Structure 1
Amino acid sequence: MRLIHNMTTISESPPPEPPAPRRVVKIAVIGGSGVGKTALVVRFLTRRFIGDYERNAGSLYSREVQLDGEQVTIQVQDTPGVQMVDNVLSVPDHVSCSIQWADAVVLVYSVTDRHSFHLVDQLHQAVVRTGGAPPPLVLLANKVDLLHLRQLDPQQGPVLAGTLGCSFFEVSASEDYSQVRGAFHRLCCQLGKQQAPPPPSGSSAAAATEKRRSPLIPRPRSPNMQDLKRRFKQALSAKVRTVTSV
């Protein structure tokens, strides 16, 4: 009697690498009351303009967008308007927390409201006082379509932006999506350059990458491989026991 024992080897290939976590960009939009912060945020994220909004209670908007070929999650924190009380800037707690939370900040004023323009410098100081490296900033002058209500000269915005050391855009949330998108896109690009330092060279690059990834994305083991091996051995044993003589 001859026993025939055919063995088949199962090779365990390494599981695929998990996808890299999607980058999250956190932006806070701050400014005086009635400057159009919510309209700007909604225009940027949805391309739509809605004329009337309820009083802003501070909403967080999130959307996945393509940014220079990369899929990015953008979170935009809309904030209540700030105001002056006895010549002192009154910043609600929600606004202060939003500034600390954000990776980048949009300062907004309306060209139809001189008071909102004068708030910008003090808002900038509030951002700087949060500590650490100042976040990327962009200054937006909204409502440029309302020519008959304009209270500020076109040169005042660029001069202020130069003083603050940030980019400047005149936009109309009601009329031009491309202007609004361009401003936010510029801010996201500035932030991306800060968040993506060049990787170290040589073999240390892989080690540094693995060190950064390991606490966040542990390499998973296949939960079914051991069970698959066990079932294969059981099936193979049953096949051996039923072999007939030649």
Structure 2
Amino acid sequence: MVLPLSSNEKSERGQQKLQINVLVLGAGHVGKSALTVRFLTRRFIGEYGDIETVYTHNVTVDGREICFNIWDSLYSQNSKGTSHASEQQMCWADGFIFVYSICDRASFNVARQQVQRLRQVKGGRAPALIVGNKRDLRHRRAVSGEEGRLLALASRCGFLEVSAAETYHGVLVAFHQLLGLVRESKAAAKKAAGLRGIVRSVSAVFGKRRAE
């Protein structure tokens, strides 16, 4: 497993890199690894073993250097027949990608359960994207695009259908869309922290005046 880089690492130009930790979740055989490797290398590789890996990938987006740390997770069911991200994974990740196959209804149900678990644990603030993979196999579709969009709307997630096998562009759009959600979340958290600091400062001033 590759450990994530320090958030203080700087680019060659001296600008601090934006670190984004992405957790990729979903049932088995839905294309999680294919999706991840397509983003990393632009190549499609269809067969993978049962290996859980964290990849590091540096890109430039809108003139800013971004370091993606991508945790390609394994699917394993617990005694209740469900599979959720671990506490360690939940704490580590800045953003989440839930992958299902549009040809497999059961994988869509797994994604639904995992999204619901995320919202129970981290609320609606955690940036997340639901991705319906294997769009190139539309003739075998078992989950409609509308169902995917409705799940995303209900769970406050982004949504895309892609084909990791067919094209790199859709996969690139997915990771960049999640990047946008993470940036928005970080900016909102920073703003909220600033407002809390102002409130504390004002409260301290008025508290001091009352004491005088």
1:96-245 equivalent positions in 2, closer than 5 A? 96-131=87-122, 134-196=125-187, 197=190
User: What corresponds to 1:209 in structure 2?
Assistant: none
Distance 1:19 1:117 in 2: 43
TM-score normalised by length of structure 1 = 0.66
Relative distance call for 1:172 and 1:22 in structure 2 (3 A) is same
Choose between structure 1 and 2: higher helix proportion: 2
- Compute the displacement of 1:153 (Å): 2.0
Relative distance call for 1:140 and 1:53 in structure 2 (3 A) is same
Report if the CA contact (8 A) 2:75-2:83 is conserved: no
The CA deviation string for residues 68-127 of structure 1, in whole angstroms up to 9 with x for no partner, is 2101111000001144755x41337xx442222100000111011100101122101221
Report if the CA contact (8 A) 1:99-1:105 is conserved: no
Q: Secondary structure at the match of 2:66?
A: strand
Largest Rg, 1 or 2 = 1
Report if the CA contact (8 A) 1:59-1:79 is conserved: yes
Report the AA paired with residue 162 of structure 1. L
> In the alignment, which of 36, 41, 54 is matched to residue 49 of structure 2?
54
Report if the CA contact (8 A) 1:112-1:152 is conserved: yes
Distance 2:136 2:47 in 1: 17
User: What corresponds to 2:59 in structure 1?
Assistant: 65
Report the AA paired with residue 34 of structure 2. A
Report if the CA contact (8 A) 1:34-1:81 is conserved: no
User: What corresponds to 1:26 in structure 2?
Assistant: 21
User: What corresponds to 1:77 in structure 2?
Assistant: 71
Distance 1:21 1:144 in 2: 37
Distance 1:173 1:96 in 2: 28
Consecutive unaligned residues of structure 1, counting only runs of 5 or more, are: 1-17, 205-246
- Compute the displacement of 1:160 (Å): 1.1
Report the AA paired with residue 25 of structure 1. I
User: What corresponds to 1:41 in structure 2?
Assistant: 36
Report the AA paired with residue 82 of structure 2. L
Consecutive unaligned residues of structure 2, counting only runs of 5 or more, are: 1-12, 199-212
Relative distance call for 1:96 and 1:142 in structure 2 (3 A) is farther
Q: Secondary structure at the match of 1:116?
A: helix
Report if the CA contact (8 A) 2:119-2:155 is conserved: no
Distance 2:71 2:148 in 1: 23
* Alignment root-mean-square deviation, CA: 2.4
Report if the CA contact (8 A) 2:18-2:67 is conserved: yes
TM-score normalised by length of structure 2 = 0.76
- Compute the displacement of 1:155 (Å): 1.6
